[in-house]
Structure 1
Amino acid sequence: MSDSVLVWIAIAVFLFWAMGAYNRLVRLRSQGLVAFAALEGSFKQYVSLVKENIPHTAEVHDGDDAGHGHDNSSAAWAGLAAAAEQFNASLKVAHAHPLNGPTTSALKTAFETLCLSWSRLQHLPPDLAGSALPATLQSQWEHIAFQTEIARTEFNRMVANYNDAISQFPALLLAWMFGFKPAQPI
């Protein structure tokens, strides 16, 4: 009789541990989703900033006049607009699956492309009309970049916590059984 009591106690301890470990994995995944929502809000500000400030010449640029200062600016603005559209598309996909590794990897690449396009525009030499980027626009970008970096750091921290939890034995057995997949930092 004492052996069966010990077996039932062991089963109860295992079940309570399994429920606790599963709840921890769910909680960590939820924290990652909340962190992504904050990051997504910052990312959307980039898209809005670019869309609201695209000069009309960038929207109708046909690329035939490459080599002229104004045309280089138009081409750079068109490149930034295209990068913003691609980033926005990646952001929409990531919204549906924020902790999916390939999805967040694509979002990270699109974000890096957007930043590279911005840098290209930022480093164009000024022409007779002045700098390609007004100082107020640069200031807005820097403000968004600061907010984004905070949100991105928090998201990446949550992803690291989540990934650590699903890779630890014996919780990794629950992660495998219930389909918890590793997430990708941005």
Structure 2
Amino acid sequence: MNTSLWWWLIPVVLFFWAVGAYNRLVRLRAAVGKAFAVFDEQLVRQVVWIQGCLPEAMRGGLQTSPIELDDPVTAAWARLHATSDQVVVALAKLRGHPMDGAGMAALVLAHEAMRTAWAGALAEAIAEDAVPSAQRLQERWMRLLHQSLPLRAAFNEAVQSYNQGIGQFPAWLLARVFGFKPAGALARLAEPR
């Protein structure tokens, strides 16, 4: 075979391989974004439900004085309100960058704080004869958490596929050139306990 043909054939093959590999990385990154969007929707449902459980006076925003926070019931509701706002802020930051590892860690911490505040609100702020009862509210909360488990798993699978894709040779060369960075997974978020 003529050597000049090889000099043309090799760059053409490399070019088409590079285009295919780049498109695969873009598809993997898009799959992470789509999986996060679905999971984000479920987390928003959790936050809306939590905020709907707040007393009427706190639903428009936290309007308590320091003296009122000395009351354990008001303090429990205030913690729940503040932590649900933290989840909202963490989600808002991740919507534009769903693969940000530090943002995912912040979301996990905010969600854990909200779950802890929810448990505190059930214990401190809901009377035993309340309708609905603390037990019924906890059952509903657990259902919301269970509904998010398969969505979290789908997101983590998409992240794992993406991270494997950008780590494989020779695609990692393209990943470095075009700035594909590893994505952060959601380790414990939304696990019922």
- TM-score of the alignment, normalized to the shorter chain, above 0.5: yes
Who is 2:98 aligned against? 98
- In structure 2, the partner of 1:32 is 32
Aligned to 2:157: 157
C-alpha distance in 2 between matches for 1:128 and 1:38:
36
Which one-letter code corresponds to 1:44 in the other structure?
V
| Residue in 2 that maps onto 1:3 | 3
Letter in 1 for 2:13: V
Structure 1 distance, partners of 2:109, 2:169, is: 32
Contact 1:102 1:184 in 2 (8 A): yes
- 1:148 corresponding residue in structure 2: 148
Which residue identity lines up with residue 93 of structure 2 in the other structure?
V
Question: Following superposition, which runs of at least 4 residues in structure 1 exceed 6 angstroms of deviation?
Answer: none
How much has 1:141 moved relative to structure 2? 1.3
Which range moved further: 1-10 or 14-23? 1-10
* Structure 1 gap segments, 5+ residues each: none
Task: Determine whether 1:48 maps to 2:48.
Answer: yes
Give the root-mean-square deviation of aligned CA atoms.
2.5
Alignment TM-score, normalising by the size of structure 2: 0.82
Identity %: 34
Contact 2:38/2:151 (8 A) holds in 1:
yes
- State the match for 1:138 in structure 2: 138
Pairing 1:53-64 to 2, within 5 Å after superposition: 53-56=53-56, 62=65, 64=67
Task: Give the SS at the match of 2:181.
Answer: coil
Shift in alpha-carbon separation, 1:132–1:83, aligned structure 2, 3 A:
farther
Alignment partners' CA distance in 2, 1:74 and 1:57: 11
- Report deviation, 1:74: 2.9
Judge conservation of contact 1:122–1:132 (CA < 8 Å) in 2: no
Q: How many residues end up aligned between the 2 structures?
A: 183
| Amino acid in structure 1 at the alignment position of 2:113 | T
Indicate the residue corresponding to 1:73 in structure 2: 73
- Aligned position for 1:172: 172
